[in-house]
Amino acid sequence: MEEGKVPPDLFSLSEDNPEGQKEDTGNFVLSGGGRLGSGGGVSVDLATSVPDEDEAVQNVAARFRKKNDFVVSEESLDTADAGDQMSDAELQDFVLDALDAEPEPEEVSETMRVDVEHTGKIDADVRSEAQVEPQVTCPHCSASNPPGMKFCVQCGGSLSVTKDGTEEKREIPPASELSRKENPWAIALVSINEDGSDGVEIPLQFLETTIGRDGDTRFPTDAFLSPKHARLHVEKGDLFIEDLYSLNGTFLKLRDEVRLTPGDTFLMGRQVLRFERFEQAITPKTKSSDGTRYMGSPSPGGSYKVLQIGIGGIVQNVYCLPESGAVLGREKGDIIFPHDKFMSSRHAQIYTGDDGHCYLVDLNSSNGTWIKIWERTKLHNSDFIFMGQQLFRIQSTAKK
């Protein structure tokens, strides 16, 4: 079986409507949307188990195969140096010396990271030292959010409440008059067929187009699409997309590296991953209320982590990111997902730039790396967007 292949049920049209029917109103209706491996429907299913049939796994990848323009070193970021290892006698002396040593009065620069969310409890004096605000739980999907967030990093739902204690709903902005104003530029969405070839071309007839199970361009059988999922805007010949607070999000395929901020969600293979900062930091000299010092694994040195998100926003696994970053993949790297047949051997990399910020870059993977958009985003010719189980390529020609 060839590496990085994905099954071919990513997009399908109903037998009653093989070409996609365009209504008199200018709306476009497509049918299709079964889960991966269910035998009916569309594309990348990121939340269900991988189908057992090798043939299905082989056929799907052609849809996403797209090479990037950059090449990154094959070496892992977490290579151990055998010369740094201690002998048994040296290790015993080191531990005994550490236990007998008096605490030093000066502050230690190195920090340990304590993830309150997953360790559960920490003494009150440690919490007061770090002055950490509690995380905010989303009332929609129960995902944890960093303090100060107004909207959920997982589902985009409102985290705010009104003065009377009721939830402040985040309303989907209604379509404007531009949704019936003709688009003079030749811009279209091209769906991707099961074999990776171009499928139905959906011209954007108006300056504003809403996509969803119930929109201007409709996919009524795609259960992973929200009723009004995303909206496309044409402005002076340029195309923009915004997510309409959809449950599962709208994703853009990476062309180049992208800067990560806490709460960013990205897709690799079948993995839904979220980039977050550690909630609490304490020094190795910190003691509990009765004077006992904390014992724990050595700190990885970094300030961030990657969360593996399951169905319903449940955190399945937490991966600590070293300060230098990490390579993610199916077989090679610092964080691996050995059972994900949709992921390349070395799929993507998170690294720390010279400016101190973390960046995500695809390593020429077969199926690409996808970032969730949070705000109106400009699209370019040949960009790929993914929502629900629908995969599209942007096709834009010169202005009229």
Query: What is the average per-residue pLDDT within 245-257?
Result: 95
Residue 345 has pLDDT above 80, yes or no: yes
Residue 346 has pLDDT above 70, yes or no: yes
Closest CA to 10 of 50, 65, 63: 63
The DSSP annotation for 298-349 comes to PP-S-SEEEEEE-GGG-EEEEEEEPTTEEEEESSSSSEE-TT-TTS-SS-EE
Residue 7 has pLDDT above 60, yes or no: no
Residue 230: pLDDT band (50, 70, 90) is: very high
**Is-contact 278 321, C-beta < 8 A?**
no
- Of the two residues 284 and 111, the one the predictor is more confident about is 284
What are the tokens at 206?
A: 């108006």
| Per-residue pLDDT reduced to its tens digit, 192-201 | 877 778 899 9
First to last CA, the chain: 46
Q: What is the pLDDT of residue 140?
A: 64
* Window from 61-75, 145-159, 178-192, 247-261 with minimum mean pLDDT: 61-75
| Per-residue pLDDT reduced to its tens digit, 265-324 | 999 999 999 999 987 666 667 778 888 988 888 777 788 999 999 998 899 999 999 888
SS (H, E, C) 180-239: HCECCCCEEEEEECCCCCEEEEEECCECEEEEECCCCEECCCCCCCCCCCEEEEEECCEE
d(CA 50, CA 35): 11
Burial of 368 (0-12, 13-18, 19+ CB in 10 A): buried
321 C-beta neighbours (distance < 10 Å), count: 24
- Of the two residues 230 and 141, the one the predictor is more confident about is 230
- Of the two residues 85 and 296, the one the predictor is more confident about is 296
d(CA 40, CA 13): 10
* Window from 110-114, 159-163, 379-383 with minimum mean pLDDT: 110-114
Residue 208 has pLDDT above 70, yes or no: yes
* Window from 83-92, 165-174, 226-235, 329-338 with minimum mean pLDDT: 83-92
Q: What is the pLDDT of residue 33?
A: 46
* Window from 41-45, 60-64, 117-121, 279-283 with minimum mean pLDDT: 41-45
Q: What is the pLDDT of residue 70?
A: 40
| pTM assigned to the model | 0.63
Q: What is the pLDDT of residue 143?
A: 72
Query: What is the average per-residue pLDDT within 189-194?
Result: 88
Q: What is the pLDDT of residue 93?
A: 61
Q: What is the pLDDT of residue 49?
A: 41
Q: What is the pLDDT of residue 359?
A: 98
Q: What is the pLDDT of residue 136?
A: 77
d(CA 242, CA 376): 4
Q: What is the pLDDT of residue 335?
A: 96
